Amino acid sequence: MPTTTSGGAADAGTTPALATPGKIIAVHLNYPSRAAQRGRTPEQPSYFLKPASSLSSSGTPVDRPDGCELLVFEGEIALVIGRRTRGVSPADGWAAVSHVTCANDFGVYDLRYADKGSNLRSKGADGFTPVGPTLLPTAGLDPAALRIRTWVNGTLAQEDTTADLLFGFGRLVADLSQLITLEPGDLILTGTPAGSSVVGPGDTVEVEVDAPGAPGAPRTGRLVSPIRQGTVPFGAFGAGPRVDDLQRTEAWGSAEAAGLAPASAATPEPAPAAAPFDLTSELKAQINGVGTATLSAQLRKRGLNAVSIDGLGSTRPGARLVGRARTLRYIPAREDLFESHGGGYNAQKRAFDSLGPGDVLVIEARGERGTGTVGDILALRAQVRGAAGIVTDGGVRDLAAVAALDIPTYHAGPHPAVLGRRHVPWDTDLTVACGGASVQPGDVIVGDADGLIVIPPHLVEEVVASAIVQEREETFIAAMVAAGHGVDGLYPMNAEWRASYRVWQEEQA
């Protein structure tokens, strides 16, 4: 079982180490990123119970039951109740928590149908609630400044903070204590952020909770859960595993990740028509309402850092760019290859002729600025076809004429030379590298004065929804700073400022 850290003594009545809890209560949805992924945001918190027998410790293997396909991890922050609590207010709820630690709310989606909402069979198996490895005393911790991270086989899969929870920790304790007496040692699992997905035998899942802004930056250490295959088959006297494409989609996080969408990231050269969503006018308007800096922050929360196309300038710096990627690749010039591929109706001309409304042509030129990759005639052709923009990490010919067009063109600089000096136009509509970023056909390209961002299509709606929430919060924070308030506790918001923010939201409605 977990042990406490040496970060200070707990208050009287708290548990110095985690004993078997009387109750394990888990919250369904609490992180905006997860709510956006699920497509629903609850007005009030809801819960389910996990049996105490599901508890396990760091290093203990988690068995995927025999015959099951969809074992899913959910990294979470667990609250340890430190004193007998009944009928407290949201303002006093946090004081009832003696420690926090990390938990992993494992479940098998193969059995969800049998639970009818209880989650007993799907999430209650022995070992399905690992916690630990250490407990962090809550003294000195800001409940709105904790961080949760999850790794699968060493790769970051989940990262989020408690700064923008749908339901703060004090509110959860208060809500539960309206009807249920919480006892010392009881655990409350507070929800998981986006990024939860399927794991299988041989995988290792690690979860860690820390407080980066607190003195000493306390952390729990990593809760390690090796996954292994169970060997005991289900008997015919109870419900057995059953899956369908809906459960696969929800378990993996998207139809694409589950391999059910034709534009799967595992497909080497997806076509733009296979994009799993419609970039509607409404969605474009939502994207245009948030900055690339905010979108970048939200992508980083989901473990995506290499999503910016760097080093380019725009012919229309004040213009906003939103569209779906089409791609063109140039290879280094070689005389015989240019002779066979550079003339006639080559890949470059085919790419520009095939553009449609809302397309952004992204060109891989290897960062080579020593020749033009597009000129005024082809840029005009893109504009006439209704394309949203052109992005090249190479040079542009006829820059003054290209800049006079309405279509924004992002480029590495001007150059008067023709294509064949450094490039051979080779192929279209495949994965390319541009400005240090990988771009696939169907990716969403967003550009503004801060730069260019690439958003995988299956994340667009989720990322934009979270970005809207973030910018609304930052509008409030900016207003408070303008009014003379300091940033300590305000940016990011602590519990007191978050309460003020909710009042401000109601006033703005």
Would you state the pLDDT for residue 1?
65
Domain boundaries, the chain: 3-252, 272-290+305-456, 461-508
CA dihedral 439, 440, 442, 443 (to 10 degrees): -30
Comparing C-alpha atoms, which of 288, 401, 378, 341 is closest to residue 392? 378
What does the alpha-carbon distance between residue 227 and residue 200 come to, in Å, rounded to a whole number?
6
Would you state the pLDDT for residue 156?
93
What does the alpha-carbon distance between residue 169 and residue 72 come to, in Å, rounded to a whole number?
24
Comparing C-alpha atoms, which of 468, 492, 488, 487 is closest to residue 146? 492
Cβ distance 100 to 207 under 8 Å? Answer: no
- The CATH fold assigned to 272-290+305-456 is Glucose Oxidase; domain 1 (3.50.30)
- Give the DSSP letter of residue 111: G
Would you state the pLDDT for residue 7?
41
Same topology between domain 3-252 and domain 272-290+305-456: no
CATH code of the domain made up of 3-252: 3.90.850.10
C-alpha angle 429/431/436, rounded to 5°? 130
- What's this model's pTM, rounded to 2 decimal places? 0.53
What does the alpha-carbon distance between residue 397 and residue 265 come to, in Å, rounded to a whole number?
34
Would you state the pLDDT for residue 277?
54
Give the pLDDT of the chain (509 residues) as one tens digit per residue: 666 554 433 333 333 457 789 999 999 999 998 888 777 788 899 999 999 999 999 999 999 999 899 999 999 999 999 999 999 999 999 999 999 999 999 999 999 988 878 899 999 999 999 999 999 999 989 999 999 999 999 999 999 999 999 999 999 999 999 999 999 999 999 999 999 999 999 999 999 999 998 899 999 999 999 999 999 989 989 988 988 888 888 888 887 787 775 543 343 444 443 444 578 889 999 999 999 999 999 999 888 999 999 999 999 999 999 999 999 999 999 998 888 888 888 899 999 998 999 999 999 999 999 999 999 999 999 999 999 999 999 999 999 999 999 999 999 999 998 888 899 999 998 999 999 999 999 999 999 989 999 999 989 999 999 999 999 999 999 999 999 999 898 888 888 888 888 888 888 87
Whether the bond into 233 is cis, omega within 30 of 0: no
Q: What's the one-letter identity of residue 279?
A: L
Residue 56 structure tokens: 């396990």
Whether the bond into 492 is cis, omega within 30 of 0: yes
Would you state the pLDDT for residue 258?
78
Please compute, for residue 320, the number of CA atoms within 13 A of its CA located in the half-sphere on the CB side. 10
Would you state the pLDDT for residue 273?
39
Would you state the pLDDT for residue 224?
96
How confident is the model over 7-59, as pLDDT tens digits? 433 333 333 457 789 999 999 999 998 888 777 788 899 999 999 999 999 99
CA-CA-CA-CA torsion sign (55, 56, 62, 65): negative
CA dihedral 87, 88, 94, 95 (to 10 degrees): -110
Calculate helix-pair angle for 292-301, 460-482, nearest 10 degrees.
120
The residue count for the chain = 509
Rg of the chain over Cα atoms, rounded to whole angstroms, equals: 26
Would you state the pLDDT for residue 4?
55
Would you state the pLDDT for residue 13?
34
Please compute, for residue 223, the number of CA atoms within 13 A of its CA located in the half-sphere on the CB side. 36
